[in-house]
A and B are shown apart, each in its own frame.
Chain A
């Protein structure tokens, strides 16, 4: 007849799933057993819960690796890479770049990202950098590499910074870093990746892959937003990043719902209100309104939004192709250029890419039959960037990424 399954069997079933990805909780079976007892005695001693919490904390802390490396690159790795000739040119001691085996500069070498591998011990404290060192490393990467006017081309700068930031993130995950340092690092990472998505737009795929950038951006953003949700405040930059998250993920139901579930105070803050209005205009397919509102964004917000500008402009041409579709209709190119936030010649080029005919008198002839999606590679997003470019003005790359504008 019936077989009973007791709690024990269930517990074993759950145990199978590894907890090693959890950032804060200790990974011992003992902890789980205690938790079990707590559920059984639901509603009893709060005090006991607190006590167990604290001993869990202690137990947990002993199991989590704590780095001791005070330099941006662990000594062992620097030595290894020097010997194997695997230093990046940004890490070489000045003057030794051209010799057969360049020397590494301990003040400029930064720990690489390495794929986790079975049997490899990534928890050796001498190889791990504590949170304060990680933050200093990130600041170095921004100020001395990303923002440097001397290092070219920027695609190479990006590759280096991208990889080393990944290494920083890895150290954070292994040590289960949380709190102010964690958020400061993630905030800079997100700004860097957003800025890069704009600056390197249009570069060839082998130099810059927007999808890889996107993956890491979303991961870092997601982690950062989790921090805001779970760590005690205040979070002075939260408004900025919630807004950036929405602008970057414009039109996403998930991103929108997330914003809707924030506290009323946050939701009514200026940056988020503006981001929500732009999001709404995008969802309602009102590109005129969307582009008008977009003019109010600052530079980094513009960078976050920029990849949606293509869709926005396409939508405008599409609905106008339907709305003005009549043989005798003429729409002035100038007016359209204004609506698209482009100059006249660029507007004309864009129209041609979508099959919208421009006649002799600079009048557009809209026709729903004529509208076509541009062929692959025909449309260069970068050509139409000025709405974002003009926001940059005197801003330095360093200030943009550190967020002091």
Chain B
């Protein structure tokens, strides 16, 4: 223990986590264990190393512990105390709890017993009590306040709520963090995770502008070496950006192995409904599994808008016959659309602000404004 390298130590931690060996894991984070005397583990900035080998939030926990060993070796006990609080242990326990619940879930599902999500809900209840304890910790000074645990716990709870599809339970957590004076001082990793979930929640609530903000933050601040995490964030950021009119480049999609979005992007910007339907259908399983299929369907309205804009540009007039739109839809092989539906779609686009103009039923024409009849997408949502 006193001579292993940092890599070997992290490997041991990883193995302990993988085998759900909570007690050994806790030992590896304890000051009673001989590893703390190992100078190779006493690092001032172990975060990157930890992030490379461990999943969040373990990476952060272990990093905090290692910084502590460094501080202690320098006899900087104030610094050491900051990191070696009961929090890491609580972290490890609550993590185990969530994993525990997940395993229980899987076991129950295999046997076909119990209600899906029950175990996770119970775990969430436990975590919620921990959260309340942390949130109401007004006694200790800011340095050792339990409030530091709030974001970590929220992130754990978010994971569960998303899994059991009870997103409305995220709201009180978000409110609590928002009103906390520590909200900008949490570690970068925690903030990234937090913004990721808050962004996804906003997406779910159709608040696309805030969703874009949160998910963009998460994407840009996510550590460059975590390709997997960046990809996960991108999966949710892309649809939001597309709804706001910003299409991703092929380069970006290729870099993060997200070519499933390529056809979707192309069809939306071209106004090609046929290709869009095909693209959604082709990668249906992937999109459904990620929970973005429904958001992507919203792109249909954007696609209609882009298609109709093409019709407008082609005809170069401000009084467009409704028939022209009907023809364009029939070209997209939408055979069961009739003139009534065309009017309905146009009326909806006008209502949503995507088209500036009005329909004249008597003349069977769409009359558009001479100025900017198809306002840019980012200005509309």
Measured CB to CB, the residues of A under 8 A from B are: 1-7, 10, 13-14, 17, 22-25, 35, 38-39, 42, 53, 226, 229-232, 253-254, 256-257, 260-261, 280, 283-289, 292, 316, 318-320, 322-326, 328-332, 335, 339
- B345-364 to A contact mask, C-beta < 8 Å, 1/0: 11110110000001111100
**A253: B residues at CB distance < 8 A:** 204, 294
A261 touches B288 (CB 8 A): yes
Listed by A's residue number, 6 A-B pairs whose Cβ atoms lie within 8 Å are: A2-B30, A2-B88, A226-B116, A285-B351, A323-B358, A324-B347
Question: Does B30 lie within 8 Å of A288, measured CB to CB?
Answer: no
Report yes or no: B340 in contact with A339, Cβ–Cβ below 8 A.
yes
Q: Judging by beta carbons under 8 Å apart, are A322 and B114 in contact?
A: no
**A3 and B112 contact, CB distance less than 8 A:** no
Which B residues from 11 to 43 make CB contacts under 8 A with A? 19-20, 22-23, 26-27, 29-32
In chain B between 50 and 103, which residues have their CB closer than 8 angstroms to a CB of chain A? 84, 86, 88-89, 93, 96-97, 100, 103
Could you list which residues of chain B lie within 8 angstroms of chain A, going by C-beta atoms? 19-20, 22-23, 26-27, 29-32, 84, 86, 88-89, 93, 96-97, 100, 103-104, 107, 111-116, 118, 122, 125-126, 165, 204, 288, 291, 293-294, 297-298, 300-301, 340-341, 343-348, 350-351, 358-362, 367
Known A-B contacts A10-B96, A288-B344; the reply to A4 vs B297 at CB < 8 A is no
| Nearest-CB residue, chain A, relative to B304 | A284
Contacts of B343 in A (CB 8 A): 288, 323
Please tell me if the beta carbons of A322 and B29 are within 8 angstroms of each other in the complex: no
Question: A22 with B118: in contact, given A231-B112, A316-B344 (CB under 8 Å)?
Answer: yes
Closest residue on chain A to residue B31 by CB atoms: A1
**Which chain B residue shows the least CB distance to A24?**
B113
4 further A-B contacts with Cβ under 8 Å, apart from A7-B23, A25-B114, A332-B361, are A1-B31, A4-B23, A232-B112, A323-B348
Q: Are A325 and B358 in contact (CB under 8 A)?
A: yes
How many angstroms between the C-alpha atoms of A323 and B353 in the bound complex? 10
User: How many pairs of residues, A versus B, come closer than 8 Å at their CB atoms?
Assistant: 138
A358 to chain B, nearest CB (A): 15
Do A323 and B350 have beta carbons less than 8 Å apart?
Answer: yes
With a 10 A CB-CB cut-off, give which of A13, A35, A231, A260 has the most chain B CB atoms.
A260
Q: How far is the CA of A283 from the CA of B31 in the complex (A)?
A: 57
- B351 partner residues in chain A, CB cutoff 8 A: 285, 318-319, 322-323
- A318 surroundings in chain B (CB, below 8 A): 351
Q: Which residues of A have CB within 8 Å of B31?
A: 1-2
* A8–chain B nearest beta-carbon distance, Å: 10
The complex places the Cα of A4 from the Cα of B20 at a distance, in Å, of: 15
Query: Across the interface, which residues of B come within 8 angstroms of A287, CB to CB?
Result: 344
Q: Which residue of B lies closest to A288 (CB)?
A: B344
The smallest beta-carbon distance between A199 and chain B, in angstroms, is: 31
| B359–chain A nearest beta-carbon distance, Å | 5
Check A14 against B288 for contact (C-beta < 8 Å): no
Let me know if A322 and B347 touch, CB within 8 A: yes
Q: How far, in whole Å, are A274 and B374 apart by their CA atoms in the complex? A: 33
Of the candidates A6, A226, A257, A289, the one whose C-beta lies within 8 Å of that of B344 is: A289
> Within the assembled complex, what's the spacing in Å between the Cα atoms of A22 and B89?
31
Interchain CB contact under 8 A, B294 and A230: no
Q: How far is the CB of B217 from the nearest CB of chain A, in Å? A: 24
Known pairs A7-B23, A256-B294; A286 contacts B114 (CB<8 A): no
Q: Complex Cα distance A331/B362, Å?
A: 8
Please give me the residue from chain A that is nearest to B88 by CB atom.
A2
CA distance A144 to B216 in the complex (A): 62
B294:A260 contact, CB within 8 angstroms: yes
A324: contacting residue among B103, B111, B126, B358, CB under 8 A: B358
> How far is A263 from B370 in the complex, measured between Cα atoms in Å?
50
A42, A283, A319 interface centre (most CB from chain B within 10 Å): A319
Docked Cα-Cα span, A226 to B113, in Å, equals 10
User: Given the complex, which residues of A lie within 8 Å of B298, measured CB to CB?
Assistant: 283
The chain A residue with its CB closest to the CB of B358 is A326
Task: Report yes or no: A330 in contact with B358, Cβ–Cβ below 8 A.
Answer: no
In the complex the two chains form, what is the Cα distance from A23 to B22 in whole Å?
Answer: 30
Q: A10 contacts B100, CB within 8 Å?
A: yes
In the complex formed, the residue of A with least CB distance to B366 is: A323
Chain A residue nearest to B346 in the complex (CB)? A323
Complex-state Cα separation, A7 to B288, whole angstroms: 37
Q: How far is the CB of B218 from chain A (nearest CB, A)?
A: 22
Does A260 contact B126, Cβ atoms closer than 8 Å?
A: no
Decide yes or no: A42 and B341 within 8 Å by CB, A2-B84, A5-B93, A319-B348 being known contacts: no
User: Distance in Å from the Cβ of B62 to the closest Cβ of chain A?
Assistant: 14
Report how far A3 CA is from B89 CA in the complex, Å.
8
Of the candidates A4, A14, A25, the one whose C-beta lies within 8 Å of that of B30 is A4
Q: Are A257 and B358 in contact (CB under 8 A)?
A: no
State whether A283 and B297 are in contact (beta carbons under 8 Å apart), knowing that A5-B93, A323-B358 are contacts in the complex.
Answer: yes
- Asked whether B347 lies within 8 Å of A319 as measured between CB atoms, the reply is yes
- Decide: A230 near B113, CB < 8 A? Known: A1-B30, A257-B291: yes
